[in-house]
Amino acid sequence: MKLYIVGFGCGSREGMTNEAEKAILDSELVVGYTVYTELIKQYFPEKEYYSTAMRQEKERVRYALSQAASGKKTALVCSGDSAVYGMAGLAYELSAEFPDVEIEAVAGVTAALSGGAVLGAPLTHDFAVISLSDLLTPADRIMKRLRCAAEGDFTIVLYNPSSKKRADYLEKACDIMLMYKSPDTICGYVRNIGREGQESRILTLGELKNTGVDMFTTVFIGNSETKIAGGKMVTPRGYKNV
């Protein structure tokens, strides 16, 4: 009785790890958020699929666990890494209801890494990853985390930077950053990482504040030493000084 929790990366076949591909191939049923199962179907059309809409995570995870408990090898898929804003945590939390199911979390490439590679090397030194989505985290707690990360001079990666209901959240985040960082701080963003229509840009924090983004965009805000080198966003680790 096996349930794989699979992080499939950015959504392209090339961005999927061998381990993730092997887990999906070994499964009879693939369960996931509708957008994600549609991405997977093009690569594994022979599999059985079950999907639910956003904000139906508990139903989705319980279904995957119940199907695994019935003896069907199941893969619960997430974009990026299954344990970074993914379903692995919830699956383990609910697993007490299905004691006979063996859970195996399969690592994937989260957007901070795949997007960082597109921009260059923005995460060579200490960094923080913060989601601006307030569906599960109160907005005041998100803003406090932004302040602490900015004050600590971390490079900061923002997930879920904007939506129709949160159109001004990136602007608010930038206002907090500007309390501790120069408006000339090097930043970048990548949209549709590894997918059709991928686009990226390197810009300053002052410019980022007035830039429109969406839920498919990952935003990178540099630290005080981040610079442009060879046309890429680079945060030095200090090797040249050793």
User: What's the pLDDT at 179?
Assistant: 97
- DSSP-derived letter for residue 9 is B
Burial of 6 (0-12, 13-18, 19+ CB in 10 A): buried
Percent of the chain with pLDDT over 70: 99
53: number of Cβ within 10 Å:
10
User: What's the pLDDT at 55?
Assistant: 81
User: What's the pLDDT at 241?
Assistant: 64
- Say if residues 72 and 1 touch (Cβ distance below 8 Å): no
User: What average pLDDT score do residues 153-171 get?
Assistant: 92
User: What's the pLDDT at 80?
Assistant: 96
CA-CA distance, 127 to 229, in Å (whole number)? 19
Tell me the pLDDT tens digit for each residue of 120-143: 999 999 999 999 999 899 999 999
Tell me the pLDDT tens digit for each residue of 203-236: 999 999 999 999 999 999 999 999 999 999 999 9
User: What average pLDDT score do residues 39-45 get?
Assistant: 94
pLDDT, the chain, mean: 95
Largest CA distance in the chain: 59
Q: What is the dihedral of CA 33, 127, 193, 212, to 10 degrees?
A: 90
- DSSP-derived letter for residue 80 is B
State yes or no: pLDDT of 242 exceeds 60.
no
pLDDT band at 75 (very low <50, low <70, confident <90, very high): very high
User: What's the pLDDT at 36?
Assistant: 92
Tell me the pLDDT tens digit for each residue of 80-102: 999 999 999 999 999 999 999 99
HSE-up of residue 79 (Cα within 13 Å, Cβ side) = 22
Q: pTM score > 0.85 for this model?
A: yes
State yes or no: pLDDT of 164 exceeds 90.
no
126: number of Cβ within 10 Å:
13
